[in-house]
Structure 1
Amino acid sequence: MSGWINQVFCEDALTGLARIPDGSVDLILTDPPYNLGKDYGNASDRQSVDAYLAWTEQWIDAALPKLKPNGSLYIFLTWRFSPEIFVMLKKRMAMMNEIIWDRRVPSMGGSVRSFSSVHDTIGFFVNRKDYYFDLDAVRIPYDAATKKARSRSIFVGAKWLEVGYNPKDLWSVSRLHREHPERADHPTQKPLEIIERMVKASCPPGGVVLDPFMGSGTTALAARRCGRNFVGFELNSEYCAIIDSRLAGPAPEPVRKAAKRKAASPLATANQE
């Protein structure tokens, strides 16, 4: 286990996944290219529809065996391809949620020939019925006014009132603006708030989170901050340097600083997290 744990390898995930033992990962959390023409330093986001879907099926079939029997998967997608990819995953796993991430895009600009797209789609899938899920770790506290309104005797001692409510499947979290303190030099970086919610809910403390497309390293950083281990891959060497920089600070045990990476493969695809 020490040969791959808490490392982000600068290589093609389709090649690198072979270094991870089957049945060793608690959670796959990933934000693969959406195939919308973004520049990730290669042509990974500029494939034909057929090629993109075939490649998606290829990496899914390489990654899923790494999950433990009670493991889970979260995948960020665009509405343009989520129907096809959800069907693909439904043939392999059980779908628990379609989560809508409202990016809080300002109400200006956008298309004049269709409604403006202001959300990303997230699929939550599990291997079997006894999958790990810690709701209490991600409950949202009620405000004082709500608690006061529920002060009648029938609510006294109610656990849900004290620990908060279950997050709904619509997550309204602002995208990272250029001036945001979390922001790294990556075009589609995801907020830590979202990634940490997934990690806390679906990976046990000390467990392992796998991200085949690390991008700016948000998954690795979230795992470290939450006391989980991580492993992942990223093709773009510039993004690998960003990940090293973000992980350079002290981390709680048993997480260790990411090790030196191998040279990038010219065939891989970069991520957009």
Structure 2
Amino acid sequence: MSDWRNHIFCEDALEGLARIPDGAVDLIIADPPYGLGKDYGNDSDKLAAEAYLQWMEQWIVAALPKLQPNGSFYIFLTWRYSPEVFVMLKKRMTMINEIIWDRRVPSMGGSTRRFSSVHDTIGLFANSKNYYFDLDAVRIPYDAETKKARSRSIFVGAKWLEMGYNPKDVWSVSRLHREHRERADHPTQKPLEIVSRMIKASCPTGGVVLDPFMGSGTTAVAARGCGRDFVGFELNADYCALINQRLQGVTPAEIVDPGLEKQSPQKDVPQAI
């Protein structure tokens, strides 16, 4: 199929990835089932540990050839399986970062036999040492107070002061609670803030982002808003309809980076097929 760009295919990624030519995408963002038994309208998240890890390796092996030589791969994981998956990926790619997504879960109850889990783990991997990465696109501006404190002549014109600082590897972004304006009918929807940062940093303008598990379609919405193409797969037909609905009216440059860390360090609508 030649017109695979900007399509969400309503099918299993393991079957559908053959549609995409090898070396055709710039970035993969994957948010697979975590193996926690959640209900996505199917049994995709109900595998036992050994079977789950075998399935993870199966789709990863199928997806990685689709990346360009300088492409990158972000993967959302739970702490339960991130060690095994990271080892699996390190055999095939270069690990660039482990990013911690602090979901800003309020301190309310939780287990009394262990510490409460309030984060997701994100791995960033690259195909080669010359992977694409646009730091300037995701720099976080300093506030006026910080700039004023750096007014000495040695700081005047400094790029880091004028453009902002490099985001850290801990991203503190609230999960999408039920009343959140972004919230769609999906149990594990990821915030646009997070996915748009990944796309701006790791996919050139006009490039292609692949998401094997589209879910609520956040990757497609973020890609379109950031001026990138997308392609993805989703098993649940209801979620495919949701994605098409979310894409209505989204135009390039509509999604702006709100800045995940505001504080200074010192202080044509595609159709599912």
Distance across 1 between alignment mates of 2:66 and 2:158:
39
Provide, for residues 30-78 of structure 1, a one-character-per-residue CA deviation record: whole Å limited to 9, x for no partner: 1000000110011111101110000000000000000000000000000
The aligned runs of 1:168-183 (5 Å cut-off) are 168-183=168-183
CA contact (8 A) 1:221 1:247 kept: yes
The aligned runs of 1:181-220 (5 Å cut-off) are 181-220=181-220
Distance across 2 between alignment mates of 1:95 and 1:180:
33
Please report how far the alpha carbon of residue 3 of structure 1 lies from its aligned counterpart in structure 2 after TM superposition.
1.6
What is the total number of aligned residue pairs between the two structures?
259
The corresponding residue for 1:11 is: 11
Distance across 2 between alignment mates of 1:190 and 1:152:
42
Q: Does 1:126 align with 2:126?
A: yes
- Give the letter aligned to residue 117 of structure 1: S
Using structure 2 for the length normalisation, give the TM-score: 0.93
CA contact (8 A) 1:251 1:257 kept: no
The corresponding residue for 2:271 is: 259
Q: Does 1:117 align with 2:109?
A: no
Please report how far the alpha carbon of residue 248 of structure 1 lies from its aligned counterpart in structure 2 after TM superposition.
1.5
Give the secondary-structure state (helix, strand or coil) at the position aligned to 1:205: coil
Using structure 1 for the length normalisation, give the TM-score: 0.93
The corresponding residue for 1:236 is: 236
Give the secondary-structure state (helix, strand or coil) at the position aligned to 2:40: coil
- Mind listing any 5+ residue stretches in structure 1 that lack a counterpart? 262-273
Please report how far the alpha carbon of residue 252 of structure 1 lies from its aligned counterpart in structure 2 after TM superposition.
3.6
- Mind listing any 5+ residue stretches in structure 2 that lack a counterpart? 254-267
Give the secondary-structure state (helix, strand or coil) at the position aligned to 1:122: strand
- Give the letter aligned to residue 188 of structure 2: T
Q: Does 1:161 align with 2:161?
A: yes
- Give the letter aligned to residue 178 of structure 1: R
Distance across 2 between alignment mates of 1:252 and 1:201:
16
Q: Which moved more, 1:86-95 or 1:241-250?
A: 241-250
Give the secondary-structure state (helix, strand or coil) at the position aligned to 1:111: coil
The corresponding residue for 2:50 is: 50
* Cα RMSD for the two superposed structures: 1.1
Q: Which moved more, 1:241-250 or 1:56-65?
A: 241-250
Q: Does 1:249 align with 2:261?
A: no
The corresponding residue for 2:85 is: 85
Question: Runs of at least 4 residues of structure 1 off by over 4 A?
Answer: none
Give the secondary-structure state (helix, strand or coil) at the position aligned to 1:251: coil
Please report how far the alpha carbon of residue 195 of structure 1 lies from its aligned counterpart in structure 2 after TM superposition.
0.2
Please report how far the alpha carbon of residue 223 of structure 1 lies from its aligned counterpart in structure 2 after TM superposition.
0.2
Distance across 2 between alignment mates of 1:3 and 1:192:
26
CA contact (8 A) 2:93 2:126 kept: yes
Distance across 1 between alignment mates of 2:6 and 2:27:
14
CA contact (8 A) 1:33 1:45 kept: yes
Give the secondary-structure state (helix, strand or coil) at the position aligned to 1:216: coil
Give the secondary-structure state (helix, strand or coil) at the position aligned to 2:27: strand
CA contact (8 A) 2:35 2:47 kept: yes
Provide, for residues 166-187 of structure 1, a one-character-per-residue CA deviation record: whole Å limited to 9, x for no partner: 0000000000010111000000
- Give the letter aligned to residue 271 of structure 2: A
The corresponding residue for 2:66 is: 66
Give the secondary-structure state (helix, strand or coil) at the position aligned to 2:230: strand
Higher relative contact order (CA 8 A, sep 6+): 1
The corresponding residue for 1:269 is: none
Give the secondary-structure state (helix, strand or coil) at the position aligned to 2:101: strand
